[in-house]
Amino acid sequence: MALLERIRGPRDLDGLSGTELGALAGEIREFLVSAVARTGGHLGPNLGVVELTLALHRVFDSPCDTLLWDVGHQCYVHKMLTGRQDGFAGLRAEGGLSGYPSRRESGHDVIENSHASAALSWADGLARAYEVRHIADRAVVAVVGDGALTGGMAWEALNNIAGAQRPVVVVLNDNGRAYDPTVGGLGRHLAALRRGPGDGGVFSALGMDYLGPVDGHDIAATETALREARGRNRPVVVHCVTRKGAGYAPSEKDPVDRHHAIGPFDPGTGAAPASPPSWTSVFSDEMIKVGNEREDVVAVTAAMRGPTGLAPFAEQYPGRCFDVGIAEQHAAAAAAGLAYGGLHPVVAVYATFLNRCFDQVLMDVALHGAGATFVLDRAGVTGDDGASHNGMWDLTLLQAVPGLRVAAPRDAAQLRTQLREAIEVADAPTVVRFPKGAVGPDIEAIERHGPVDVLSRGVREDVLVVGIGPLAGPAVEAGARLAELGIGATVADPRWIQPVPEALVALARAHRAVVVAADCGRAGGPGTLLAQALQDAGSDVPVTGLGIPQQFLEPAKRTRLLTALGLTADAIVEACRRTVEKGLSE
Ligand SMILES: Cc1ncc(C[n+]2csc(CCOP(=O)(O)OP(=O)(O)O)c2C)c(N)n1
Ligand SMILES: CC(=O)[C@@H](O)[C@H](O)COP(=O)(O)O
Ligand SMILES: [Mg+2]
């Protein structure tokens, strides 16, 4: 790593010869593979932008010139070149280096959101700001992937960038894939542009200059194109053709997603240890069975067939799984169309990406009484990916949607059952939410009241403990510990959390206090909804809601965050003890 050690900032690249740059690219790849093998992370996307990032930092003078990374999962090389090599031992760890750009880490970083297709809008806004402020010497450069370009926001931005003719350099990092090969007419169009001879296609038609296709692994050629783009002083697309996973055979050959995002692995072979059954794999398995029984059930993914567990369904029923690109808004509105056409769509997205299509869920699906099921994977705390990826906003948003029903299964058996219950609903949207990671053992109910399961009972009805989804386990544990403290606790799992089941309200009214624990934002979470329902029913039983405060969480392991947020058996016991003691003293 003789060269890499000398690079402490982008300007250290200036004096390097072509041969040295080639050698440096090799050292960067070695570093990436060994670092990500230890921590896990976005390996394939970063291996694919080694030369491109070197070229960008040689042509543009960050942070005076602004580099905007779309999604930001491909920023590792940028971090290495901007003084952060030493932080990679703690990549995505608590107190360590973020897996995305982070303003706190560096003045070279701008966009932290990591939700795709937004960087071109930032670029347009920034270029406008520079124009208004008469700043002419700072370049605005946005790096966007071909996958991210399938998102509608990217085209809203291109419309504005092309219309205004302000200087913006759009670097299209085209590796032909998101996780899977890039879909649709755009995917086809980019493939044609990649073959040359450089006619500019849709970008020229919009009124932007087009440079390319350029081999994004040829540093000199990429630098030449970028310098030319900078000099044009108007909107230019530089079309760079790259390979995801480039330079590391196990990634380049990975048939699934070129190691888009991988856990710790063996750097010698690229193999990662097998993972235990997860919530995703249970959903995946049940979808195959449902698909076999109901031909009208179809699946929709926003470019995440593999990670949402839909890949096996797509293989089994090839004409019934639709990858719409990174286009959650389209996915939701198209689901309304699919439902109107006599099908039952199951739209599988990560909970955090549901934010993108709130209006479509509300106005296209719910308003029209469409029977569509939204499966929200990675709901609740996800951890390593930091603030942008915690699935903690969904219930806050969804509480506002009339007629929508939300299921939060507590275990694998309930996930299977509740997925089926959701798909039975033909006249309203349904949502099934579950977290990231391994699914625990099934938890048997001792009673059923309407949709509500009672999981355990104490000697008295001092407090009702409501454990939502994966919090049911800690709630049961808390119930047992409360018995030892002489506090009578009933532990319940409503299973369906929105609208609040009448049976849950009745159960709550039979107790002196209620504690609700849920892995979601507290605003509009199940605790708030139950408190409202009790109030509407004229009850003054106090409700304590445990959940995630509406704040942006720093990266850390899910279990660490749940503990810090008070979403554990211990914290539930403490909340019950406090609320019961308070009740006794009043
Ligand atoms: C709105 C949104 N939906 C989904 C994702 C999940 N996601 C992260 S990266 C990615 C693929 C990006 O493809 P591309 O832009 O081509 O970048 P590459 O990984 O190929 O470098 C997806 C779907 C996201 N970050 N944001
Ligand atoms: C950048 C992005 O949005 C995804 O790649 C995400 O980081 C994957 O997360 P999981 O590892 O939970 O699938
Ligand atoms: Mg791509």
| 328 annotated active-site | yes
pLDDT, position 394: 98
Q: What is the mean pLDDT of the chain?
A: 97
* pTM confidence score: 0.97
Point out the residues of the chain with pLDDT beneath 70.
584-586
373-377 and 430-433 beta bridge pairing: parallel
pLDDT, position 586: 61
User: What phi, psi does 581 have (nearest 5°)?
Assistant: -60, -40
Query: 3-class SS at 344?
Result: strand
The yes-or-no answer on residue 8 being catalytic is no
Q: Where are the beta strands (DSSP E) in 76-139?
A: none
Query: Is the complex ipTM more than 0.95?
Result: yes
Report CA(328)–ligand 1 centroid distance (Å): 12
Pairing of the two strands 452-456 and 447-449 = antiparallel
Q: In ligand 2, which atom is closest to the CA atom of 115?
A: 3
248 is in an annotated binding site: yes
Pick the closest to residue 462 from 527, 514, 533, 534 (CA basis). Answer: 514
Contacts for 367 with CB less than 8 Å, ≥ 6 apart: none
What is the distance in A from the centroid of ligand 2 to the CA of 261?
Answer: 6
Residue 351, token pair as written in the block: 């909970």
Distances (CA, A) of 569 to 283, 460, 467, 471: 26, 20, 10, 9
pLDDT at position 581 is 84
253 labelled catalytic: no
Burial 337-363 (b: 16+ CB within 10 A, else e): ebbeeebbbbbbbbbbbbbbbbebbbe
Q: In angstroms, rounded to a whole number, what is the distance separating the alpha carbons of residues 449 and 176?
A: 52
User: What integer pLDDT is reported at residue 1 of this predicted model?
Assistant: 74
Catalytic pick from 223, 328, 421, 477? 328
Nearest ligand to residue 44 Cα:
1
| pLDDT score, position 585 | 61
For the domain made up of 4-252, give the CATH fold.
Rossmann fold (3.40.50)
- Tell whether the torsion through CA atoms of 27, 28, 34 and 35 is positive or negative: positive
- Over residues 372-417, the pLDDT tens digits come to 999 999 999 999 999 999 999 999 999 999 999 999 999 999 999 9
Question: pLDDT tens across 199-256, in order?
Answer: 999 999 999 999 999 999 999 999 999 999 999 999 999 999 999 999 999 999 999 9
Residues at CB less than 6 angstroms from ligand 1 = 45, 71, 73-74, 114-116, 145-148, 173, 175, 177-179, 244, 260, 302-304, 326, 328, 353, 356
Residue 197 is inside which H or E element, if any? none
Q: Give the model's pLDDT for residue 50.
A: 99
Protein fold of 447-585: Rossmann fold (3.40.50)
HSE value, Cβ hemisphere, 13 Å, CA-based, for 401? 27
- Cα 244 to ligand 3 centre (Å): 7
Domains 279-433 and 447-585 share a fold: yes
Superfamily of domain 279-433: Thiamin diphosphate (ThDP)-binding fold, Pyr/PP domains (3.40.50.970)
What are the extents of the domains in the chain? Answer: 4-252, 279-433, 447-585
